[in-house]
């Protein structure tokens, strides 16, 4: 199979719908609050009653500009709205207000990381503003389909990529990067499981070296990034098998079945909707001037790729560490703050990606709610660097205590728990002398060349000091005395 697969090149373009976190809907003042009783966030505008008029929610435009700027898109000045017409029970107006020929953003890129660590830029075709439909529920009642219109009219941004993605793994990375941006910008929670971010994958295959793309299939209903990858893998194999068997790819819309990782036909091209787009007569175009864009620019948070660059170039961290640190904005910002309190960046990175992340996982705490300040973590790092506390005591005892006792400094905690390492030379000499005196025969063995007995003396010094001897200093002194 793999020899046959090797003859083909997959071509993928993704459409991502991001549900915006605006307080009210895209074209009405109805609340967007999730989880309310069905059909409670619905005014006459959402219900599409005759004589009602939509109005543009400025926060939706702000969000679109933010995402556009983050991706390096060109922001359109004159934004027209269009009607996309189709009939469905969860679409009371009979059309969605969207943008057709004048999307708010064009151009721009998403940078993905390939499996070999290299970067690749995927061009964005367009980002446009639109509204969601309501929800039809087919599994709540044994006889009827129920409709909840709370979601009808909630604002969406649709991000459409160029067909430049070449594998399921690249698609995985692309969706991950888009979600990361949405979350950094705090415009969408990116939760695919709950449907607040959705991804449709357009997939085709062609012989390697071909210039004309094959017929594409659009796959919907993947509720996680992992499932986007699974659906694409399945679809590539299915299309190749179909072509190899002498068949043709029909341009269908398919649905992903997560239970067995396959896709099945939802509707064929013949059944495709003709949306009869036309300009929305009830909304004047929105004009975006330089001032508006500048205002949004001023509110932009640091972006993941900027922080990644800073962490690798200024702080000398590895690509991998910087990647882990920038996965989520609160973690990246915590680390960033920590680096203004300590210059030991590698240790800072290890604490954040190690002990702190484990603590968050263990106690199901969000980074935002982590109780210990970056300043305190920096103080703990300093204690270790000064040799006052061993790394293992810091990690196993001082750090957990710091998470409970927020009013004491790491030094106070280490003192209270009797964990300050002894680096006092006089005291150290005494322990070393006692240790050596306890095993005169082993001292002779060492001097005769059996260097392995060093560990015995180190263990003895640690025992005598009750673990408080600074291991580095103790080691130096034991060697010195043995070699005298």
Name the site residues for ligand ADP (rule: CB under 6 A): 11-15, 160-163, 202-204, 213, 216
How many residues in the chain? 484
Question: Could you tell me the two tokens for 81?
Answer: 């709205």
Complex with ligand ADP: residue 174 or 311, whichever CB lies closer = 174
Complex with ligand ADP: residue 138 or 208, whichever CB lies closer = 208
Nearest approach, Cβ of residue 205 and ligand ADP (Å): 8
Complex with ligand ADP: residue 160 or 456, whichever CB lies closer = 160
Complex with ligand ADP: residue 219 or 378, whichever CB lies closer = 219
Q: What are phi and psi of 239, to 5 degrees?
A: -65, -40
Complex with ligand ADP: residue 112 or 147, whichever CB lies closer = 112
Contact 45, 236 (CB under 8 A): no
Q: Strands 8-19 and 197-207, how do they pair? A: antiparallel
How many CB atoms within 10 Å of residue 17? 17
| Residue partners of 224: CB distance under 8 A and separation at least 6 | 192, 193
Complex with ligand ADP: residue 82 or 393, whichever CB lies closer = 82
Contact 146, 136 (CB under 8 A): yes
Nearest approach, Cβ of residue 191 and ligand ADP (Å): 22
Nearest approach, Cβ of residue 137 and ligand ADP (Å): 26
Complex with ligand ADP: residue 169 or 405, whichever CB lies closer = 169
Nearest approach, Cβ of residue 253 and ligand ADP (Å): 9
What's the alpha-carbon Rg for the chain, to the nearest Å?
Answer: 31
Q: How far apart are CA 362 and CA 358, in angstroms?
A: 6
Nearest approach, Cβ of residue 419 and ligand ADP (Å): 58
Q: How far apart are CA 277 and CA 95, in angstroms?
A: 9
CA separation, residue 267 to residues 133, 217, 236, 270, 446 (Å):
19, 11, 19, 8, 82
Nearest to 41 by CA among 201, 151, 185, 163: 151
Nearest approach, Cβ of residue 211 and ligand ADP (Å): 12
- Coil vs helix vs strand at 161: strand
- Coil vs helix vs strand at 133: coil
Q: DSSP for 321-378?
A: HHHHHHSSHHHHHHHHHHTTT-S-HHHHHHHIIIIIHHHHHHTT--GGG--S-HHHHH
Q: How far apart are CA 462 and CA 435, in angstroms?
A: 10
Nearest approach, Cβ of residue 292 and ligand ADP (Å): 27
Nearest approach, Cβ of residue 340 and ligand ADP (Å): 41
Nearest approach, Cβ of residue 280 and ligand ADP (Å): 18
Complex with ligand ADP: residue 84 or 93, whichever CB lies closer = 84
Complex with ligand ADP: residue 162 or 295, whichever CB lies closer = 162
Contact 215, 250 (CB under 8 A): yes
Question: Could you tell me the two tokens for 272?
Answer: 């495709």
Complex with ligand ADP: residue 63 or 204, whichever CB lies closer = 204
Complex with ligand ADP: residue 165 or 348, whichever CB lies closer = 165
Q: How far apart are CA 130 and CA 416, in angstroms?
A: 60
Nearest approach, Cβ of residue 176 and ligand ADP (Å): 17
Q: How far apart are CA 453 and CA 279, in angstroms?
A: 87
Nearest approach, Cβ of residue 293 and ligand ADP (Å): 25
How many CB atoms within 10 Å of residue 59? 16
Nearest to 417 by CA among 372, 383, 373, 385: 383
Nearest approach, Cβ of residue 274 and ligand ADP (Å): 11
Nearest approach, Cβ of residue 162 and ligand ADP (Å): 5
Question: Could you tell me the two tokens for 395?
Answer: 């990690």
Q: How far apart are CA 294 and CA 457, in angstroms?
A: 67
Complex with ligand ADP: residue 168 or 413, whichever CB lies closer = 168
Residue nearest to ligand ADP (CB): 13
Complex with ligand ADP: residue 157 or 413, whichever CB lies closer = 157
DSSP-assigned letter for residue 442: H
* Enclosing H/E stretch for 130: strand 119-131
How many CB atoms within 10 Å of residue 46? 26
């Amino acid at each position: 199979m793999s020899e046959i697969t090797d003859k083909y090149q997959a071509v993928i373009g993704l459409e991502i719908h991001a549900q915006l976190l605006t307080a009210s809907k895209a074209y009405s003042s109805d609340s967007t609050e999730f989880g309310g009783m069905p059909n409670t966030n619905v005014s006459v505008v959402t219900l599409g009653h005759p004589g009602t008029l939509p109005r543009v929610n400025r926060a939706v435009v702000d969000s679109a500009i933010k995402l556009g700027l983050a991706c390096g898109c060109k922001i359109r000045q004159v934004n027209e709205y269009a009607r996309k017409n189709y009939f469905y029970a969860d679409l009371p107006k009979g059309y969605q207000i969207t943008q057709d020929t004048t999307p708010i953003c064009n151009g721009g890129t998403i940078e993905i990381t390939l499996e070999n660590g290299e970067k690749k830029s995927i061009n964005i075709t367009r980002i446009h503003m639109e509204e969601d439909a309501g929800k039809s529920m087919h599994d709540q009642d044994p006889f009827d389909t129920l409709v909840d219109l709370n979601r009808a009219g909630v604002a969406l941004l649709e991000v459409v990529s160029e067909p430049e993605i070449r594998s399921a793994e690249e698609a995985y990375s692309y969706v991950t990067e888009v979600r990361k941006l949405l979350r950094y910008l705090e415009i969408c929670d990116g939760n695919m499981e709950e449907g607040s971010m959705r991804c449709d994958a357009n997939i085709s295959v062609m012989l390697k070296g071909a210039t004309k793309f094959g017929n594409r299939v659009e796959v919907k209903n993947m509720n996680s990034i992992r499932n986007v990858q699974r659906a694409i893998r399945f679809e590539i194999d299915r299309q190749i098998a179909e072509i190899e068997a002498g068949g043709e790819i029909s341009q269908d819309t398919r649905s992903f079945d997560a239970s067995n990782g396959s896709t099945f036909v939802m509707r064929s091209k013949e059944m495709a909707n003709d949306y009869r787009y036309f300009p929305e007569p009830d909304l004047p175009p929105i004009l975006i001037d330089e001032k508006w864009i500048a205002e949004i620019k001023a509110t932009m948070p640091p972006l993941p790729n900027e922080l990644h660059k800073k962490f690798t170039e200024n702080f000398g961290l590895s690509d991998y560490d910087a990647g882990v640190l920038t996965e989520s904005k609160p973690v990246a910002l915590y680390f960033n703050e920590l680096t203004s309190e300590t210059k030991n960046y590698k240790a800072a990175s290890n604490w954040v990606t190690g002990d702190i992340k484990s603590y968050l996982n263990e106690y199901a705490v969000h980074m935002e709610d982590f109780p210990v300040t970056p300043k305190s973590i920096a103080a703990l790092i300093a204690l270790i660097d000064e040799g006052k506390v061993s790394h293992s005591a810091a990690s196993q005892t001082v750090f957990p205590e710091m998470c409970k006792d927020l009013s004491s400094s790491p030094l106070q905690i280490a003192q209270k728990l009797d964990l300050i390492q002894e680096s006092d030379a006089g005291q150290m000499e005494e322990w070393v002398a006692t240790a050596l005196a306890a095993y005169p025969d082993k001292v002779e063995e060492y001097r005769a060349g059996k260097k392995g007995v060093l560990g015995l003396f180190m263990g003895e010094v640690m025992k005598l000091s009750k673990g408080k001897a600074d291991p580095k200093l103790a080691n130096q002194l034991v060697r010195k005395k043995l070699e005298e």
